[in-house]
Amino acid sequence: MKVDDRSSLLTRRSLLAGALSGAGLAVLGGTAAQAATLGRAPRVLIATNEPWGTYHVAPLLPEARRRGWEITQLVPDLTGIKPGDPVPVATPDRVPDADLLVVTGAGDWPAECAARFRTLPLVASSLAYQLPVEAPRAKEFRDRLRAVTASSPAEAKVFDDYLGTRRPITVVGTPQTDDLPRHAPEPGTVLVLTSVTKSSSTGGSAPGTELLLAAADRLAAAGKHILVGLHPREDRSLWEKYEISSVPSVQASARAEAAIGIPGTVFPVVAAVGVPLVGCTDPRLNIPAYLLSVCSHTITNADEAVTAVTQAEPVSREVLYEAVGPIGGSARRLLKAWRKAGVRV
């Protein structure tokens, strides 16, 4: 795999197949050239491994609006979408003509969407971490891919293994870094970055919550102010005895002297803010090495939390770049890669 640095959990296949085989569903065959000819905005469809998880797509919206593009996330149905969600969504039988399909993984839902919309140009873009093991359904569509993008050099290597592509991957950065807050830590404040305690149809869970809860208790007992950055799918009731941030975790991290949590997609972005990180690891967790690389320390016992947080330091620029990629302008680079792959404007 060559890195181009130019800057399932849902296994109910019968549900997914049913959502894609509704009566009267038209095969999408719109092209980017047709979009220009018709004088309408370019339309991009996105299918993710977490079919109803719109939070990975949301950071793309400001740049899409600036360019006059329409981005729509494909969902099996509307049951997992909260009222007021800013990301436009549609079921496959309700989407208009489109110019490009983007898959962010190779789980059941992206694979089913790729199969159904087989005449659309296809791109794979990593918007959340995967594991460096070839996904069983990647072979169904990888030969169609016109481009592959990832946030960072390290993520590109993992995404290549995950897709089994062995081809150039364009590094574009992480769209969440396009509007990073200024780090202004409040004395004694520690940000707790949660994962997801219970799996649902929207997505899976990650072990380690018990360790993180216990670590938060130890830090609070040591006089730290606990600020909780909730994963969008986490059980809020587990954390209500602490301050739960009213803004997304990356914005909340500006207040923190350090952060502790179960390593996930948000870790490199929080590191980019300048916040030292401590990772809570569990033997049942399988975490890509680049997510661990931005951790100043990792712990397996809650009694280690206070010392690890006290001693935590920001990562070097070299480690940060490898894990998060170029900072700023990432959504612009990503949409540029999509345009070159099939959206002509």
Which amino acid, residue 192?
V
When pLDDT is cut at 50, 70 and 90, the band that residue 121 belongs to is very high
With CA atoms as reference, report the closest residue to 245 among 259, 228, 225.
228
> Does the pLDDT of residue 203 top 70, yes or no?
no
Place of tokens 């659309």: 120
When pLDDT is cut at 50, 70 and 90, the band that residue 207 belongs to is low
Whole-prediction pTM value?
A: 0.84
**pLDDT tens for each residue of 29-77:** 344 444 544 567 899 999 999 999 898 999 999 999 999 999 999 999 9
d(CA 3, CA 76): 33
d(CA 296, CA 314): 7
**pLDDT tens for each residue of 128-173:** 989 999 999 999 999 999 999 999 999 999 999 999 998 999 999 9
> Does the pLDDT of residue 9 top 60, yes or no?
no
Among residues of the chain, what percentage have pLDDT more than 90?
Answer: 71
d(CA 172, CA 28): 28
Q: Residue 60: how many CA atoms within 13 Å on its side-chain side?
A: 27
Say what the pLDDT of residue 146 is.
96
**pLDDT tens for each residue of 288-311:** 999 999 999 999 999 999 999 999
